[in-house]
Structure 1
Amino acid sequence: MPLSEETNIYLIGPRASGKTTLGKRLAERLGRPFVDLDAQFVAVRGETIAALVAREGWDAFRLAEAEILAETATQKGLVAATGGGVVLMPENRARLAKGLVLYLQAHPDRLAERLMADLNAEQRPNLTELGLKEEIVATLAEREPLYLSLAHACLPDRPVDEMLDYTLRALKMF
Structure 2
Amino acid sequence: MPLAADTNIYLIGPRASGKTTLGRKLAESLGRSFVDLDARFVEARGETIAELVAREGWDAFRRAEADILAETAAQKGLVAATGGGVVLLPENRALLAKGLVLYLQAHPDRLAERLMADLNPDQRPNLTQLGLKEEIVATLAEREPLYFSLAHACLPERPIDELLEYTLRALKMF
TM-score calculated relative to the size of structure 2:
0.99
1:5-84 pair list within 5 angstroms: 5-84=5-84
Q: What 5-or-longer segments of structure 1 have no aligned partner?
A: none
Partner of 1:145: 145
Q: Deviations over 1:7-49 (max 9, x none)?
A: 0000000000000000000000000000000000000000000
- Alpha-carbon separation, structure 2, partners of 1:148 and 1:132: 23
TM-score normalised by length of structure 1: 0.99
Q: Give a deviation string over 1:103-150, Cα, whole Å, max 9, x none.
A: 000000000000000011100000000000000000000000000000
Report the residue type matching 2:133 in the other structure: K
Note the 1:93-112 alignment, pairs <5 A. Answer: 93-112=93-112
Unaligned runs of 5+ in 2: none
Question: How many Å apart are 1:3 and its aligned residue?
Answer: 2.0
Q: State the distance in 1 between where 2:123 and 2:150 align.
A: 24
Opposite residue 97 of structure 1, the aligned amino acid is A
What displacement does 1:2 show?
A: 6.5
Q: Percent identity?
A: 86
What SS is found at the alignment partner of 1:11? Answer: strand
The residue identity in structure 2 corresponding to 1:32 is R
Residue 115 (structure 2) pairs with residue 118 (structure 1):
no
Do residues 87 (structure 1) and 87 (structure 2) align?
yes
CA distance in 2, matches of 1:140, 1:34: 25
RMSD: 0.9
Q: Secondary structure at the match of 1:63?
A: helix
The equivalent residue for 2:129 is: 129
Taking the aligned partners of 1:44 and 1:34, their CA distance within structure 2 comes to 16
Q: Is the 8 A contact 2:13 2:84 kept in 1?
A: yes
Distance across 1 between alignment mates of 2:30 and 2:121: 31
- Cα separation, partners in 2 of 1:96 and 1:2, compared to 1, 3 Å: farther
- Aligned structure 1 segments of 4 or more residues deviating by more than 2 angstroms: none
Q: Aligned partners of 2:17 and 2:3: how far apart in 1?
A: 23
**Are the equivalent residues in 1 in contact too, given 2:2–2:172 (CA < 8 A)?**
no
Does the residue aligned with 1:14 lie in a helix, a strand or coil? Answer: coil
Q: Secondary structure at the match of 1:157?
A: coil
Residue 154 of structure 1: how far off its partner (Å): 0.2
